Structure 1
Amino acid sequence: MENYFNYFTEIEECYRRCRNTPSLLSPLDWALIESWKDAGIPLAAVLEGIESAFAKFQKRPPHIQRVNSLAYCTQQVMKAAEEMQDSSSSQSRSPVAASAVQDAAPFSNPEIVQFLERNGEALTRAADLARDAGQAGLSEDLRRAAGELQGLTSQQRESAAPELEALERRLSALEDILGASMLRASSVDLLADLKAEVARGLGPYRRNMSAAQIESLERQFLKKRLFEHYRVPRMSLFYL
């Protein structure tokens, strides 16, 4: 059975295996994976699409430059997802919901508690940094989020079996709130620099993506960079 909480690592391993190099994924690649996850693209479709894209690439003349970004695989990933959706209506469930139904819990309760505690501590540190930078509103939002994580941590300690789907919904909502707060706190110059960075990275691959896909990727890349810039941890269990 697919374990959607391994979504990121399995895609990374598949890409590196197909590319036959130990190179790390770029920030743009990670943002693309996030956009697929948020769009509900099944893990199996992503892996099939990557393998199909590389199989086609291998048939090209040997002088063609190697694949340098996961974005090269976008068309094949979307094609695989569409074919999978056509073949089975059950694929319309969200990744987390499917995981909860199909698989045993991929994490132990102590692992989840440690994850929440670690993120709560990181949020407190990020709140201190925001306060020192004169960003009182962001600092307050980060401290409020840290307090909410403390509450979730207490609930998990008392839980005999973690309800992953419900917990993931709360963590994702918290991530969205913090993302919006960081966006409000960011200067025009910072946002312009981040948007220019994604534009440079997307340049060679725009023809392989629809306008909606490009917009989603830009949004995910900006979100990822903002979390990194303000040293805010990712909340989702996908990052455990």
Structure 2
Amino acid sequence: MNYFNYFTEIEDTFVRRRGKHLLLGTMDWALMTAWKEMGVPLHVVLNGIERAFDSFAAKPRKRSVKTLMYCQEEVEAQYAEWLESQLGAQNGIVDGEQETGADYVEEENLPFPRATILEHMQSARAALLQICEERRRMRDDELCDALTRAAARLGEMEKDFARAAPPSAEKLEEALTTLEKMLDDALSANIPQKELATARSETEAQLEPYRNRMEQPTYEQTFG
């Protein structure tokens, strides 16, 4: 991912969570540059921003968040955890093969086998690209751009999840939630409300047979 995309994704997420458009200052750009040069993955930065704002929302303060510096501590804490997971992946390899015991523990900590999760992520990425290609035949708009960006970020997340030891289902869910919010915003901005309402009704009808077996938060998140 080039510098422009890295900065744009961070700025968009910060502005969305802040709720008001605010141009980033010199110190904010310097901070983003430092993260980029440190090798902090984009999805790690975005997770840190989301968590920092979630913490702020849980304990509202009189002063609003004005700069990206507010998120620095959380972003760098997330990066430290990510580095640890990558080191764990390297240490878990012996003569080019994953240690059987470690692999077993990893599978225990996941809701599904890692390979199954990765296959699902790959399928989702392919679907995003296909939707983008089909839409681009009709119009090349911000939604196409968002779909392309989402597919690229999902690709980065796949690589990290494949290497992580142990892999964290919680971290993956947080990253996917951040991605989902970005796509939701793009859909709301580019799809007529009538079409969105129709899609929601169709989704509700498809989920109706399973509603009693789904937890309420999961059901609401599926089409909320």
Normalization by structure 2: what TM-score?
0.40
Structure with larger RCO (C-alpha < 8 A, sep 6+): 1
Normalization by structure 1: what TM-score?
0.38
